[in-house]
Structure 1
Amino acid sequence: MKDLGQLTYFLGLEVHHRANGIFLNQHKYIQGLITLASLENTSTVDTPMEVNVKYRKNEGDLLDDSTLYRRLVGSLIYMNTTRPDISYVVHEVSQFMSSPRHLHLATVRRIIRYLQGDALISWRCKKQDRVSKSSTEAEYRVMSTACIEIVWLHGLLEELEFPQRLLLPLFMLITLVLFRLPPIPFSMNTLRLIVILSEIPWRVG
């Protein structure tokens, strides 16, 4: 048996050893996906999927050859190792492996264009530490937490002498919240919402 030293590359995973830990990325793997999908000269996109889009099994024309689609989706499933931000949309497109359509392939190409751009600098998926009594309250709690992190990132960049003058957009699934907001009758439940809401304006403003 031969000692090959520290692991630096394994099955598409690039391994970087640092004093504060081991870091993984799949930059070369993404470049291979871009070439496979013939997207070398295309622009990047900010989100892995379009807003308010529902993918249907029988919408659009069938692909003449589904081989490319299956290869791309299979590779994207593997990409979840280091890019959990695409897990939802990859789950969506993986449902059409048996009979993919041109629309589904366009969605897969969009995911790859998203990977071609910048990666997320912050990502979190966890159970809330408090029990929310409604989906509306849960959405507001997430919004409040996001605002706290935005303020922290602004402060960090300010200290690094990279001040951010533009307002940061905050994207939330708040359609339900907006339609349920007025009127707000007083109760213990709405009091909880008012307390959460009171944290948001000064953080955003």
Structure 2
Amino acid sequence: MDVKNAFLNGDLTEEVCMQPLPGSSVLSNKAKYTSDLLARAGLTNCKTATTSIDPQTRLTPLEGSLLFDATKYRQLVGSLVYLTITRPDIAYVVHIVSQFMAAPRSPHYNALIRILRYLKGTLFHGLHYFAQSSLQLHVFSDADWAGDPTDRRFTTGFCFFLGNSLIAWRSKKQTLVARSSTEAEYSALTDTTQELVWLRWLLFDMGVSHSAATNLYCDNQSAI
């Protein structure tokens, strides 16, 4: 009998109050999580990296030697996936290393270590939300063309801002192979628009209506 989640099926009649511990914050609760992650990886005293990935890195499934024990790799990647909830700056690179969970190799592990070194130098980076920010929604969309060297598929990404506050983001490899950068960007715009329509309805249900069109930004002139 599963009783750990039994409360999810009941109605609470009491008033429940939740308050963070004195001196704590989400940013400091996340800094500790990252520090513990670095300790588990044995990188507490490692040098920091200014970027989360080398721009010239192109990981493939067969390059390099297989890791003797893939357990540590999978555990670290899983922890990083959780961290992307508040660290959108690593969403893309975590998306890359998570593709090799089944059979990780030495270059994949090196890329993983690079992410952790970057996190060590950015422990207190995070999302900041401002009470005086406007409720105007605007969106940025982008894609790479044939970015995966193995299957030539492209990765799309978007981020949604409500005023100055980042509220939604995604990095995802598509199932299609685009024949041009224009097609890749246009496909990314399509996915972003679908998310945008849903998000506008969600905000409307929360009492935030947008009567005007939402600005959707793209840097590809042909797609525009």
- Normalising to structure 1: TM-score of the pair? 0.50
Aligned length, in residue pairs: 119
CA-based RMSD of the aligned residues comes to: 3.3
Q: 1:76 aligned to 2:86?
A: no
Do the aligned residues in 1 keep the contact of 2:86 with 2:127 (CA within 8 Å)? no
> What is the rounded CA distance, in whole Å, between the counterparts of 2:139 and 2:126 in structure 1?
20
Residue in 1 that maps onto 2:25: 15
Deviation by residue 1:124-173 (Cα, 9 ceiling, x = unmatched): xx6359xxxxx9xxxxxxxxxxxxxxxxxxxxxxxxxxxxxxxxxxxxxx
More helix by share: 1
Deviation by residue 1:39-78 (Cα, 9 ceiling, x = unmatched): 1121100000001211101000000110000000000000
Residue in 2 that maps onto 1:6: 19
Say which of 99, 106, 127 aligns to 2:139.
127
Q: 1:97 aligned to 2:114?
A: no
Q: 1:122 to 1:59 in 2, by over 3 A?
A: same
- Structure 1 SS opposite 2:103: coil
Do the aligned residues in 2 keep the contact of 1:45 with 1:110 (CA within 8 Å)? yes
Q: 1:96 to 1:8 in 2, by over 3 A?
A: farther
Q: 1:66 aligned to 2:101?
A: no
> What is the rounded CA distance, in whole Å, between the counterparts of 2:19 and 2:126 in structure 1?
26
- Normalising to structure 2: TM-score of the pair? 0.46
Residue in 2 that maps onto 1:34: 38
Structure label with greater radius of gyration: 1
Do the aligned residues in 1 keep the contact of 2:87 with 2:127 (CA within 8 Å)? no
- Runs of 4+ residues deviating >3 angstroms: 1-5, 119-123
- Structure 2 SS opposite 1:26: helix
- Structure 2 SS opposite 1:104: helix
Runs of 5+ consecutive residues of structure 1 not aligned to the other structure: 17-22, 130-134, 136-175, 177-205
Query: Shift in Å at residue 8 of structure 1?
Result: 4.4
> What is the rounded CA distance, in whole Å, between the counterparts of 1:96 and 1:113 in structure 2?
20
Runs of 5+ consecutive residues of structure 2 not aligned to the other structure: 1-13, 129-137, 146-180, 182-224
- Structure 2 SS opposite 1:127: strand
More strand by share: 2
Q: Which residue identity does 1:127 align to in structure 2?
A: V
> What is the rounded CA distance, in whole Å, between the counterparts of 1:36 and 1:128 in structure 2?
36
Query: Shift in Å at residue 15 of structure 1?
Result: 3.4
Q: 1:82 to 1:24 in 2, by over 3 A?
A: farther
